[in-house]
Amino acid sequence: MEKPVLIREDGLRHDGRKPGELRPIRMEVGVLKNSDGSAIVEYGGTKVIAAVYGPRETYPKHLILPDRAIIRCRYHMSPFSTSERKSPAPSRREIELSKVIREALEAVVFTELFPRTTIDIFIEVLQADGGTRTAGLTAASLALADAGIPMRDLVAGVAVGKVDGVLVLDIDEVEDEYGEADMPVGYAAGIDEIVLLQLNGVMTKDEVLEGIKLAKKGAEHIYKVMKETLYKKYLKALES
């Protein structure tokens, strides 16, 4: 396909958003009855579900850590999540994303409260339209909160990109594919800590700093929606 116009003459993006605008967000917790915690998160056309099990007994036993819980994380794209069927076998990309999401969450979970146990996080991409790792991180953080696992803070993920020379928030698949750079960020707004930061492509130092500012602004909004989503569930539980 020929490269589409990413920034139109009126300054808006190919889907009509302003550079600093997020896609419509939807989220819900407690969506799976068999897990200890779960969440579904949508950023525009990207739909991701996360399930958390634990803290539970660690198997195999040699993996046990005497002073804290281990966190295991599997990020997976379902075969029907992409326009062409994706092989269900874990790719190198999925192995990398599982690791960076796990490390981001290890920064906020109080693992020392649950020695010898395991916390399992499963992230399943149902529909991919850019930003699946960041939506996955948001969903996993919500699912951990839904499971009642103590954390220093919630983490909101969002990617910033550079398209046609312009920094834009929450890039979609077209912007990811045809843009110059993509910088996913995981931000714990309450404690003001960045727990995930990656960069694909090339940006100047100033663009990176500007991009981080933009990502923090977007993540702060997502963080608010996450809190509201959790409150809503507990209010509902109190009412019934």
Under rule CB under 6 A, which residues in 158-177 are in contact with ligand ADP? Answer: 159, 173, 176
Number of residues near ligand ADP (by CB under 6 A): 15
* Least distance in angstroms from the C-beta of 68 to ligand ADP: 28
Nearest CB to ligand ADP, comparing residues 149 and 159: 159
For position 71 contacting ligand ADP by CB under 6 A, the verdict is no
* CB of 157 vs ligand ADP, minimal distance in Å: 9
| CB nearer ligand ADP, residue 149 or residue 156 | 156
User: Quick check: 23 binds ligand ADP (CB under 6 A)?
Assistant: no
Contacting residues for 59 by C-beta, under 8 A, at least 6 apart? 118
Give the integer Cα–Cα distance in Å for 101 and 85: 24
- 3-class secondary structure, 147: coil
- DSSP code for 109: B
* E strands present in 92-213: 117-127, 156-163, 166-169, 181-188, 193-197, 200-201
> How many whole angstroms separate alpha carbon 50 and alpha carbon 132?
12
Q: Which of 86, 152, 227, 233 binds ligand ADP (CB under 6 A)?
A: 86
* Residue 106 near ligand ADP by CB under 6 A: no
Can you tell me which of 36, 42, 124, 129 binds ligand ADP, judged by CB under 6 A? Answer: 129
User: Distance of CA 31 to CAs 49, 137, 146, 161, 213, Å?
Assistant: 9, 17, 10, 31, 32
- Residue 186 binding ligand ADP, by CB under 6 A: no
Confirm if 46 and 130 have CB atoms less than 8 A apart.
yes
Nearer to ligand ADP, 131 or 186 (CB): 131
Q: Closer to ligand ADP at the Cβ: 117 or 127?
A: 127
| Residue reference for tokens 């990656």 | 198
> Binding residues for ligand ADP, per CB under 6 A?
82, 86, 93, 128-134, 159, 173, 176, 182, 184
